[in-house]
Amino acid sequence: MQSLTNRATPVDRRPMTFAEKLYLPAIAKGMGITLKHLFKKKATVNYPEETRPFSPVFRGLHILNRDEEGRERCTACGLCAVACPAEAITMEAAERLPGEEHLYREEKYAARYEINMLRCIFCGFCEEACPKQAVYMSETFAPANYQRKGFIYGKDDMLIPHPQKQIKENNQ
């Protein structure tokens, strides 16, 4: 019967020679490979002391951005939650009250904004979908935790510090 792909290799059924029975060439070849790898540069990084450089397209933890005046950029439009294929983002919208103009940029803001990092696949769709550039992905990664609730990041965990309050605290 003829093969369809012509990729079959015939099996050599000849008896082994005396040199092949000693296995010395095979052992020498294996030792040569071992010695070659022994003197190569190690690929291991001693993590706490050294850190490896991240790729320029690395996507890490989510950050909620503020504008130049320190107001929250997020308007709770929900586009990031809709764009998320893993459905890791949940939010609740609320209306800005009179006197809160210094806190929120628009009339509507995210009263509750949560990301479940156990579901997140770090695809970056939320960052691309946000029309206000309120969500971006930093170059830090999620720290280890022993409980599931430690991986659900709320608005307080993701919001960058208020720039004007941070300047006041540094001056004191």
At 54 the pLDDT is 82
pLDDT digits (tens, 9 = 90+) for 49-81: 888 888 888 888 999 998 888 888 999 999 999
**Known binder of ligand: residue 155?**
no
Q: Tell whether 11 is in a known binding site.
A: no
Does this model's pTM top 0.85? My answer is no
Is the pLDDT assigned to residue 31 strictly greater than 70? yes
Q: Is 83 labelled a binding residue?
A: no
Domains belonging to the chain, first-starting first, are 62-171 (3.30.70.3270)
Query: In Å, what is the CA distance from 124 to each residue of 18, 62, 68, 114, 119?
Result: 62, 9, 24, 16, 13
Tell me whether residue 126 is annotated as binding: yes
Q: What pLDDT band is residue 101 in, cutting at 50, 70 and 90?
A: confident
d(CA 134, CA 29): 59
* Residue 74 known to bind ligand: yes
115 is in an annotated binding site: no
Question: For position 89, what pLDDT does the model report?
Answer: 95
pLDDT at 18 over 80: yes
Pick the closest to residue 154 from 114, 100, 119 (CA basis): 114
pLDDT at 8 over 90: no
